[in-house]
Chains A and B, each alone.
Chain A
Amino acid sequence: DGGITQSPKYLFRKEGQNVTLSCEQNLNHDAMYWYRQDPGQGLRLIYYSQIVNDFQKGDIAEGYSVSREKKESFPLTVTSAQKNPTAFYLCASSNNRADIPPGNTIYFGEGSWLTVV
């Protein structure tokens, strides 16, 4: 079945460690996104990529890094520079072309819970 797969579902990070969250999609979508969700704050954009080999910072990019070497993959690294990384992380992909059905669609993965221990 087509969709977005995030892994791992749960991840524990020690102080000073970098960790990488995986996001894979087989929907042939050009655009991919990483959001962070904290209670009472909705979803905040970390990074996004409209096309392979290109990505832009979102609103809260400090302490995070990404790569987009393949269309189907958009991994997120939470570095030790991120001071408050405990959160629920959501990856999404979108078909942002109205001329390619189904147009104007966006799908989220199941999310990854990151906890600092």
Chain B
Amino acid sequence: GDSVVQTEGQVLPSEGDSLIVNCSYETTQYPSLFWFVQYPGEGPQLHLKAMKANDKGRNKGFEAMYRKETTSFHLEKDSVQESDSAVYFCALSDRPNRGSTLGRLYFGRGTQLTVWP
């Protein structure tokens, strides 16, 4: 079945450091890929997305490349800020039929990013 594995636990960079949060997926189909961000006490928000292979999602200095050959969608940023601190979830979505581009989501377990000032 479909699944997502991402860097687990906490990542503790200092402000200005570069960041990579790994995400790998398994599927027999051609999924869409997402990163969500969640702040304390809130629901997740869509952070960036890539709908097909070789697409790159971008948002607020973060990037993730949809790499079909390595089944990966790693989240990267050149220089993190304290305000980036949050929980990040990688997810994939299957496509229930030809007319739709989103179906149910499969989530990784989340990565707590805490940026030190």
Write the residues of chain B forming the contact surface with A, with a CB cutoff of 8 angstroms. 32, 34, 41-46, 49, 51, 89, 96, 99-105, 107-110
C-alpha spacing A105/B45, complex, angstroms: 10
C-alpha spacing A111/B44, complex, angstroms: 9
C-alpha spacing A111/B96, complex, angstroms: 26
Are B105 and A103 in contact, with the CB atoms below 8 A? no
Are B49 and A104 in contact, with the CB atoms below 8 A? yes
Are A105 and B109 in contact, with the CB atoms below 8 A? no
Q: Give the dominant DSSP class at B's interface.
A: loop
The distance from the CB of B9 to the nearest CB of chain A, in whole angstroms, is 9
Are A97 and B43 in contact, with the CB atoms below 8 A? no
Contact size range, A: 20 to 34
Are B89 and A42 in contact, with the CB atoms below 8 A? yes
A40 on interface, CB distance cutoff 8 Å: yes
Q: 8 A-B residue contacts at CB 8 Å? A: A40-B109, A44-B107, A48-B104, A97-B99, A108-B44, A110-B42, A111-B41, A111-B42
Give A105's nearest chain B residue, CB to CB.
B46
Are A97 and B46 in contact, with the CB atoms below 8 A? no
C-alpha spacing A106/B36, complex, angstroms: 10
Give A48's nearest chain B residue, CB to CB.
B104
Are B46 and A96 in contact, with the CB atoms below 8 A? no
A98 on interface, CB distance cutoff 8 Å: yes
By a CB distance below 8 angstroms, the chain A residues around B42 are: 110-111
Are A42 and B45 in contact, with the CB atoms below 8 A? no
Are A45 and B103 in contact, with the CB atoms below 8 A? no
* Closest 4 A/B residue pairs (Cβ): A108-B43, A96-B102, A42-B109, A42-B107
By a CB distance below 8 angstroms, the chain A residues around B32 are: 104
By a CB distance below 8 angstroms, the chain B residues around A95 are: 102
Are A96 and B44 in contact, with the CB atoms below 8 A? no
By a CB distance below 8 angstroms, the chain A residues around B89 are: 42-43
